[in-house]
Amino acid sequence: MLELNFSNMMGEMIGEKGVAERQIEGIKTTVCNIDKRINSKEKPELAFIDLLKQDTSEIKKTASFIRNNFENFIILGIGGSALGPKAILEALSPFHNIDKKPRVFI
């Protein structure tokens, strides 16, 4: 279960620029409804939430094989098929192709 602690943003902690308790109460019903929808999976676009529970051993085994056996890894795609991997690679390892193998080309 996810628990959020936002006490350090509250007015009692930081003064007049902080969030007032009444503001939290004002959105409580909306937030609870959103939480129920997410947990009931009414929306198919929320299926990604279950990825955290997925067994990743096969993915890790395949990644290890590619890393140890190839110099270049090419991703062919347009739109999200290319932009998603490109964004992740640039954000997490922008200089990957300089010193790591396999080099990734999108």
Domain boundaries, the chain: 7-52, 55-105
Alpha-carbon span 23 to 9, nearest angstrom:
12
Residue whose pair of structure tokens reads 């198919």 in the numeric block: 44
Alpha carbons within 13 angstroms on the beta-carbon side of residue 17 total 2
- Determine the pLDDT at residue 2: 66
pLDDT tens per residue across all 106 residues of the chain: 667 788 899 999 999 999 998 998 889 899 889 888 877 766 677 777 777 788 899 999 999 999 899 999 999 999 888 999 999 988 988 888 887 789 999 9
- Determine the pLDDT at residue 95: 84
Residue whose pair of structure tokens reads 């090419």 in the numeric block: 74
Phi, psi of 99 (to 5 degrees): -135, 5
Alpha-carbon span 25 to 17, nearest angstrom:
17
Residue whose pair of structure tokens reads 């290319």 in the numeric block: 82
Q: Are 102 and 71 in contact (CB under 8 A)?
A: yes
- Determine the pLDDT at residue 82: 92
pTM (predicted TM-score): 0.49
Six-digit token string for 100:
């790591």
